Structure 1
Amino acid sequence: MKINVIIADDNSFIREGMKIILHTYEEFTVSATLENGLEAAEYCKNNPVDIALLDVRMPVMNGVEAAKRIAEETDTKPMILTTFDDDEYILEAIKNGAKGYLLKNTEPERIRDAIKSVFNGHSILQDTVLDKIKDSLFRPAEAAHQIDESQFTERELSIMSLIAKGFSNREISKQLFISEGTTANYISSILGKTGLEHRTQIAIYYITGKVDNGR
């Protein structure tokens, strides 16, 4: 079964170029190319679509607004594919239901792999995108209240906040004065409690308060 994709971008060159790229992979079929977010949201409401690739800045309705509508009103998984890596766009897109945030200069093979991963129920943030939000305004006290703190230890909450800021296991260990092995054990515990599969999903969960169950 092929993954059914739509592409929404106000630049026709980008739309058609991405369509050609995706059609070089046997896993995909591109059922529509659209000029704005409203067209994408309406198309997803009226047609079966697996993945909606959305630019951020589009007329009529931008990609962040379209991602929210698509996530709330359809079974389609929205992904942002854009040239803009502003913190505001990234955070709003994630909070509004985007399952992935990629930059257009990403290699085609990585875009392919990201689409397949989102289709299979995961959330994807490029390392460069995650780095952009690690110094965001989401301080621990502001972010943690969005999640169910009762199921986590104080140490686990501290580690989640540092993961959300883009810290590596080594950096977390130095910050908290614990071994890397202990850090890894805490992360395994967090993954087990949330049902998540990797640290990027922990970061998204900590920021949004939502467990991505692959809807």
Structure 2
Amino acid sequence: MRKKITLVIADDHLIARKGLVQVLEAMEQYTIAGEAENGIELLNLCREKNPDVVITDIRMPGMNGFEAIKQIRLLPQPPAILALSVLEEMEIYELLAAGANAYLDKNARHHEFRETIAAILESKQYYYNFRDAYLKELLASHAYPNLPPATEKFTSRELELMKGLSEGKSISALSKELFITPSTVKYHRNKLYEKTGAKNFIGLLLYIAKNMVSGRYG
């Protein structure tokens, strides 16, 4: 029997939280390890239950979702983190910087939960379609720290990889599409870290998205 994916759900609104729990419990692949109504409870549950995935609201009393995500990222074995909220423009960047793997609007459909959870469990990395015009506009209109201009010369393989990552493709999907092994995909990704100065996968995706908008790839 396949091991179920353990989830911890955090939302200070009881009805919203219970509604989400009911939806996810109806999907056979998930089991709910715990519920929290603020960031402190969420952090304690992560330490106690060691879940596979955290699904958290951002606007909560006491320790909010942003701070909770930062603290969860410091755990020895941090879970994948899916933020579920309705955010303003700059809050999207703050969410990524805090360490969330993915973001869904609270009006997301059931299949979007399944697809997003599967994606972040596969790669443990931020999963978003950077072709989205809204995020392109956001990244083009703000200056982000620690994102150098695109002055490096990238290989054709690296450009292919950046294009695939910008489309939200996973490592396994890129491996099949480019006819290379997953370890080779990771090798090129690590080279991109060096060339772009990105500290992590989120930083790399932000770099790609920003330079997709301006058309500058060195």
Instruction: Tell me the TM-score range normalised by the shorter chain.
Output: 0.5 to 0.7
Identity %, equivalent residues: 26
Inter-partner Cα distance in structure 1 for 2:38 and 2:136:
29
Distance 1:130 1:191, change over 3 A: farther
Judge conservation of contact 1:95–1:208 (CA < 8 Å) in 2. no
Contact 1:11 1:35 in 2 (8 A): yes
Q: Is 1:207 aligned with 2:206?
A: yes
In the alignment, which residue of structure 1 is the partner of 2:61? 59
Q: Contact (CA 8 Å) 2:33, 2:49: kept in 1 or not?
A: no
Match of 1:78 among 77, 81, 92: 81
1:1-215 matches, cutoff 5 A: 1-73=3-75, 74-82=77-85, 84-125=86-127, 127=129, 130-136=132-138, 144-145=147-148, 152=154, 193-194=188-189, 205-207=204-206
- What SS does the aligned partner of 1:22 have? helix
Unaligned residue ranges in structure 1 (runs of 5+): 167-183, 210-215
Equivalenced residues, count: 180
Q: CA deviation at 1:59?
A: 0.5
Is the Cα–Cα contact under 8 Å of residues 7 and 32 in structure 1 kept in the other structure?
A: yes
Matched-pair contact (CA < 8 Å) for 1:151–1:193: no
**Per-residue CA distance 1:141-179 (angstroms, 9 max, x = gap):** 8563299x76736xx78x969x87x9xxxxxxxxxxxxx
The root-mean-square deviation of aligned C-alpha atoms, in Å, is 4.0
Could you tell me which runs of 5 or more consecutive residues in structure 2 were left unpaired when the two chains were aligned.
168-176, 179-183, 192-199, 209-218
> Which amino acid is the alignment partner of residue 64 of structure 2?
N
The 2-side partners of 1:206 and 1:143 are apart by 13
Quote the residue 1:177 is aligned against: none
Deviations 1:102-158 (A, max 9, x none): 1111111111221122122254545599543322356688563299x76736xx78x
1:52 alignment partner AA: V
Alpha-carbon distance in structure 1 between the residues aligned to 2:154 and 2:33: 43
Give, as a single letter, the amino acid of the residue that structure 1 aligns with 2:8: I
Distance 1:151 1:14, change over 3 A: farther
- The 1:35–1:130 alpha-carbon spacing in structure 2 relative to 1, beyond 3 Å, is farther
Q: Which amino acid aligns with 2:87?
A: D
Provide the rounded CA distance (Å) in 2 between the counterparts of 1:105 and 1:144.
32
Q: 1:58: Cα distance to partner?
A: 0.5
The residue number in structure 2 matching 1:171 is none
SS at match of 1:120: helix
How much has 1:190 moved relative to structure 2? 8.8
